[in-house]
Amino acid sequence: MKIERRQNFRVNTEFEIEFGSEDEFISSYCLDLGQGGLFLKTDSPFAKGDNFVVKFNLPQAKQTIEAKVEVRWSRKLGSVNDGIGVRFESMNRGDYLKISTYLDGLDLIPQPDKAI
């Protein structure tokens, strides 16, 4: 039996996201989001502990959220489920509140993800 290590629930949601460093950003999709992090669809190689910046707009939102993240796990199976789980390491308080407000406004009961 695997133990859930996450402190926050994540919900399935899909939106475009950019990730990278000051010099180069790559576009992809976020497939789930929680107050503590997100799942980023990518086939780029990342290792646990890698750090970078993500930028995204929540659905129906106009203001861009920017956060520094750390890779917590990576899944490369050669399938549509390839990607990385990242934890938010730093973001401004306003962006944190935007995510919280967005998650609170969803009409669903989030279920904890399976532990990786």
pLDDT digits (tens, 9 = 90+) for 37-48: 999 999 887 999
Give the predicted TM-score (pTM) of the model.
Answer: 0.81
The pair of three-digit structure tokens given for residue 108, joined into one six-digit string: 């669903």
Task: Give the sign of the dihedral formed by CA 40, CA 46, CA 49, CA 55.
Answer: negative
Q: For residues 19 and 44, is the Cβ–Cβ distance under 8 A?
A: no
Please give the average per-residue pLDDT across 102-106, as a whole number: 86
Give the start-to-end residue ranges of the domains of the chain. 10-104
| DSSP percent split of the chain into helix, strand, coil, nearest 5 | 10, 45, 45
% the chain with pLDDT above 90 = 60
Is the pLDDT confidence value at 89 over 90? yes
Which residue do the tokens 């629930």 mark?
9
Q: Tell me which of 3.30.70.20, 2.40.10.220, 3.40.50.1780, 2.40.110.10 is the CATH number of domain 10-104.
A: 2.40.10.220
